[in-house]
Amino acid sequence: MPLALIFLGLVGAVFMGAVGGYYAQTRLSQSRVATAERGAAKILSEADRRQKELLLEAKEEAIRVRQQAESELRDRRKEIQRSEQRLNQKEENLDRKLEALEQRQRNLQNRERDLEEARSSLATLEDERRAELERLSNLTVGEAREMLLAQIEREIRDEANRRLREIEQEVKEEADEKARKIIAVTMQRLTSEVVSETTVSVVPLPSEDMKGRIIGREGRNIRSLEQLTGVDVIIDDTPDAVTLSAFDPVRREVAKIALTKLLMDGRIHPARIEEMVEKARKEVEASVKEAGEAAAMEAGAPGLHPEIIRTLGRLKYRYSYGQNQLRHAVETANLAAMIAHELGGNVDIARRGGLLHDLGKAIDHEVEGTHAILGAELARRYSVHAGVIHCIEAHHEEVEPTSVEALITIVADAISGSRPGARRESLDQYIKRLEALEAVANAFPGVDKSFAIQAGREIRIIVKPEEVDDLGASRMAKEISRRIQESLDYPGQVKVTVIRERRSVEYAK
C-alpha cells in the first residue's frame, strides 16, 4: 500500500513537472517570438530609413551630375561659337586674298599685254635701226657680227695674255722661292765627293821592255788579251805605260786587273793570260756585288733583288761626263728622299727611284734602247714596286711623269748632275753643244738672234716683234724647250728665255 502511494505520488510529480515544463516552454517561446518580432520591426525601420537616405543621396548626385553636364555643354557651345567665329574670319580673309590675287593676276595680264606691245614695237624699231645701220655702214648683219667678234676676240686675247703672264709670273715666283728653299736645304744636308774618270785606263809598266812581252811573238799575246777581254790595248810612244780603251767599263776594269797581275807575275803567254783574265773577271764580279750592296745600304734601300744589286754595282765602273754613275745614283737617292720628305711625298719610293733611275746604263751597251726604258724593263722583270718603275722610265720624260715621286727623281737627278764639279766635258763637245742649242732656236720662224749662255744651261732668244706677238713668244719658249728635250743630250736642265721687245725711234729735226 505504501509502495502504490509512492508510485502514484511519483507519477503525479512527473506529470506535474511535465505540465509545468510545457507551460514554461510555451512562455519562453512566446517571449522569443515577441523579441524576434521587435527585432524584425527594428530592422525594417532601419532599412526604411537607409533606403530614404540612399534615395536622397542618389537624387543629390543626379542633380550634381546634371549641373556638371550642363556646365560642360555650355562651355562646349561657347568653344563651338568661338571656332565658328574664327572660321568666319578666315573665310573673310581668304575671300579678300582671293580677290586681291585675282586683281593682281588681272594687273599682270595687263602688264604682259603692255610688254608684248612694247616688245613688238621694239622689234619694229630694231628692224628699222638695223636697216638704217646697214644703209649707213654698207655692211650686212653677218659682216658686222664678224667684225665685232673679231674685235672682241682681239681684246679678250690681249686680256688673256696679260692675265696669263701675270698668273705665270706669280706662280713662277712662288714656285721658284719654294723650290730654292727646298733645294738649298737639301744640298746643304748632302755632302758627296766628286769622282771623275774617262773611257780609257792607263796601266803603268816597270820598263819599256814589257811592251814587247805584252805584244808577244807575232802579236799573239796582245791578240789573246783583246779577244778575251773585248778591250783595245793601245801601245804607242807613251813611255812606261799601256792604254786600255773600251766602251764597256767592266771589261776595261777586267783587262786592267788582268794586265796588272800579268806584269806582277812576269809570265805572259796566252794560257797565262786566259787564267789571269778569268781570275780578274771573278774579282770584278765580287767587287760589283759588294759595290751594289754597299750602295743600297748607303742609300737606305735594302731588300732589292740580287740581280738588281749586281746590275747596280756595275755602275761603279760607269762614268757620264766624268761623273761616277754609282756615286751619282746614291747621291740622287739621298737628294730625292730629302726632297720627298720636304714635299710630303712617298720617301721610300723616291729614294729607290733615285737609286735605280740610271740602272739601264749598266746594260745599254749590250741591249738596244734608252737607259731609262731598259732600266724600267729590268726592274719590272724582278718585281720592283710600280711607283719605282715609273720613276725610272720617266726620269728623262720619255714617259710622261704622273707622280710626285717621278718629278722628284727628275729634280734630284738634275741637281746631282748639274752641281759644280760633278761633270765635265771636252772643249769640242762643249762648243758643239752650244752650237746645237743655238741651231735649235734659230730654226724657228720669227727668231732674230739666239745666244747660249751659262755654259749651255740657258739660251736666250730675241724674236722679231712684228712677226711674233706676246702669246706667240710664250708658245715659242715651250716649243723650243720641247725640241731641245727631244733632240739634244745635256747634263742638268736648260732654261729657255724668249725676249720680245718693240722699239719706236723718231728724230726731232
Would you call 292 exposed, middle or buried from its count of C-beta atoms within 10 A (0-12, 13-18, 19+)? buried
User: According to the model, what pLDDT value does residue 124 have?
Assistant: 87
Alpha carbon separation from 8 to 5, 13, 16, 25 (Å, rounded): 5, 8, 12, 25
Distance, CA of 500 to CA of 278 (rounded, Å): 64
CB atoms within 10 A of CB 59: 10
- DSSP of 389-405: HHHHHHTTSSS---SHH
**Torsion over CA: 391, 396, 400, 403 (sign):** positive
Confidence at 46, pLDDT banded by 50, 70, 90 = confident
User: According to the model, what pLDDT value does residue 352 have?
Assistant: 92
Confidence at 194, pLDDT banded by 50, 70, 90 = very low
Give the percent of the chain with pLDDT over 90. Answer: 6
Kindly report which listed range (18-22, 359-363, 389-393, 413-417) carries the lowest average pLDDT score: 18-22
Mean pLDDT of the chain: 81
SS3 content of the chain, % helix, strand, coil (to 5): 70, 5, 20
Dihedral in degrees, nearest 10, Cα atoms 265, 267, 271, 276: 20
State yes or no: pLDDT of 495 exceeds 50: yes
- DSSP of 164-181: HHHHHHHHHHHHHHHHHH
Q: Bigger pLDDT: 291 or 36?
A: 291
- DSSP of 243-291: EEE-S-HHHHHHHHHHHHHHHHH---SHHHHHHHHHHHHHHHHHHHHHH
Confidence at 190, pLDDT banded by 50, 70, 90 = low
Confidence at 436, pLDDT banded by 50, 70, 90 = confident
In sequence order, what are the beta bridge partners of 201? 244
Kindly report which listed range (80-89, 128-137, 421-430, 441-450) carries the lowest average pLDDT score: 421-430
Distance, CA of 385 to CA of 97 (rounded, Å): 75
Kindly report which listed range (86-100, 157-171, 445-459) carries the lowest average pLDDT score: 157-171
Distance, CA of 458 to CA of 445 (rounded, Å): 20
CA within 13 Å, CB half, 315: 28
DSSP annotation of 20 reads H
Distance, CA of 444 to CA of 460 (rounded, Å): 13
Q: Give the H/E segment covering residue 292.
A: helix 270-299
What digits encode the pLDDT tens for the residues 324-334? 888 888 988 98
Kindly report which listed range (88-97, 188-197, 457-466) carries the lowest average pLDDT score: 188-197
Encoded amino acid at 203, one letter: V
Q: What is the mean pLDDT of residues 414-426?
A: 61
User: According to the model, what pLDDT value does residue 228 have?
Assistant: 83
Helices 249-265 and 270-299: crossing angle in degrees, nearest 10, is 130
Distance, CA of 276 to CA of 258 (rounded, Å): 5
Highest mean pLDDT: which range of 131-135, 152-156, 203-207, 387-391? 387-391
Segments making up each domain of the chain, as ranges:
53-133, 196-299, 304-424, 427-500
Is 3.40.50.300 the CATH classification of the domain at 427-500?
A: no
Alpha carbon separation from 326 to 293, 309, 318, 360 (Å, rounded): 11, 11, 7, 12
Do the Cβ atoms of 213 and 221 come closer than 8 Å? yes
Q: What is the mean pLDDT of residues 24-28?
A: 71
Q: How long a stretch of residues is the chain? A: 509
Do the Cβ atoms of 464 and 471 come closer than 8 Å? no
Distance, CA of 334 to CA of 338 (rounded, Å): 6
Alpha carbon separation from 208 to 33, 204, 235, 269, 442 (Å, rounded): 177, 10, 11, 18, 54
User: According to the model, what pLDDT value does residue 4 have?
Assistant: 67
Q: Bigger pLDDT: 315 or 236?
A: 315
Q: What is the mean pLDDT of residues 344-361?
A: 89
Q: Which CATH number fits domain 196-299: 3.30.1370.10, 3.40.718.10, 3.40.50.300, 3.20.20.70?
A: 3.30.1370.10
State yes or no: pLDDT of 208 exceeds 60: yes
State yes or no: pLDDT of 95 exceeds 60: yes
Distance, CA of 472 to CA of 386 (rounded, Å): 39
User: According to the model, what pLDDT value does residue 390 have?
Assistant: 92
For the structural domain made of 304-424, what CATH number should be given? 1.10.3210.10
Q: Bigger pLDDT: 148 or 223?
A: 223
All three cell numbers of 462:
730675241
Q: Is 131 helix (H, G, I), strand (E, B) or coil?
A: helix
Which residue is listed with cell 537616405? Answer: 53
User: According to the model, what pLDDT value does residue 435 have?
Assistant: 85
User: According to the model, what pLDDT value does residue 189 have?
Assistant: 55
In sequence order, what are the beta bridge partners of 203? 242
Strands 241-245 and 319-320 turn out to be unpaired
Q: What is the mean pLDDT of residues 211-233?
A: 82
Confidence at 488, pLDDT banded by 50, 70, 90 = confident
Confidence at 389, pLDDT banded by 50, 70, 90 = very high
State yes or no: pLDDT of 196 exceeds 50: no
